[in-house]
Structure 1
Amino acid sequence: MPEIRSIVREQVVHTSPDAPLTDVAQLMDDEQVGSVVVVEDDRPQGIVTDRDITISAVARGEDPEAKTAADVMSEDLVTVEADSGIFDVLRTMEESNVRRIPATDSDGTLAGIVTFDDFVVLLGREFKLLSDVVEAKIPPYEHA
C-alpha cells in the first residue's frame, strides 16, 4: 500500500502558540491556506483553521488582537506518521472527523501535512489513468 509520504506537502504553513491571532489570519491570507499548524520545538501542538478564527474570536465578539494561536487551536490534534499507508490515513481522518492532518517523522517532528483536497487530486489522477486504459481497449466514441 502506498505511503502517505507520496502525497504529503512538506512545506507546511506553521506558527508558534503565542502568535497573535491577527498574525495567524494574515499568514493564512498571504499563503492562501485555510489552516496553520501550531508548532513548538518542531513538533505539532495544534492547528488553527479559518473557521476557528471566525467562530472562536469574531463570532463571539472577542478581540482577535488579544488572542493567540494557542487560544483557538484544536488541542486534540490528530497526527499520522509520514510512513503510514494512505488508506490508514483516510480511515484516521474519517474517524477523527478532520479534513487535514499533519504528518510526523518517527521522532514526532513535523514532516508535512495532507488534506482532503490532496486525496481528491490523487483520486482524480488515478481515475484518469484507469480511463486511459479503458479507452485504449474500446472503439472511439462517435459524436453526432
Structure 2
Amino acid sequence: MKIRDLMTTDIELVHPDTLLRDAARKMRDADTGFLPVGQDDRLVGTLTDRDITIRAVAEGHDPKVVRVREAMGEGLVYCFEDQDSSEAAELMANNDIRRLPVLNSEKRLVGIVSLGDLAARTGDDDIVGQTVQDISSSPSNT
C-alpha cells in the first residue's frame, strides 16, 4: 500500500523560531506529540514532546525563552508519498521513530504517516508488529 493512501494530511507545522511554550500549546491543541518544523515552505526538522522534555526542560532551559530550533531533533528522516508502507515501516524501525513526515516529489511536506496509520490501514500485522518490536527494544526508548 502506498503512503499517500495512509498518511494524515491535516498537518500542524511550526516555524523554527517559535517559542517552545507555543509549540507545546500547539501540540496540546492538536492532540499530538509531534510537529514538523518548516521554514520557507521546506521541512527543516521535527519536534516531539520528548524533545521538549529531554532537550530543553530537563536541561533547565526555559520554554518561554528557548526556540524550537534549539530542541528539535537532529537529522531529518522522511518518506515520499509514493513509497510503499513497508518502506515507511523499515524507516521507522531503523531510526527508532513512530512518525514520519511525508514529502511529494518536489520535496514539499504533504502529510504525516504514523505507526498507528500503518497498523490501522495496512492490515499487515507482521510488518507493524516487527516495527513496534524494533522501536520498543531500542536503547533510546528504554
On whether the aligned pair clears a TM of 0.5, the verdict is yes
Unaligned runs of 5+ in 2: 126-142
CA contact (8 A) 1:28 1:35 kept: yes
String of CA shifts for 1:26-55, please: whole Å, max 9, x gaps. Answer: 000111111111011222111110011111
TM-score (norm 1): 0.82
CA contact (8 A) 1:7 1:114 kept: yes
What are the within-5 Å matches in structure 2 for residues 47-126 of structure 1?
A: 47-123=46-122
Unaligned runs of 5+ in 1: 128-144
Give the distance between the partners of 2:64 and 2:4, measured in 1 at CA. 36
TM-score (norm 2): 0.83
Matched-pair identity in %: 34
Correspondence for 2:18: 19
- Number of residue pairs matched? 125
The one-letter amino acid of 1:38's match is: V
Mean CA deviation greater in 114-123 or 36-45: 114-123
Question: The residue matched to 2:21 in structure 1 has which SS?
Answer: helix
Q: CA deviation at 1:97?
A: 1.4
Q: CA deviation at 1:126?
A: 6.7
What are the within-5 Å matches in structure 2 for residues 2-41 of structure 1?
A: 2-41=1-40
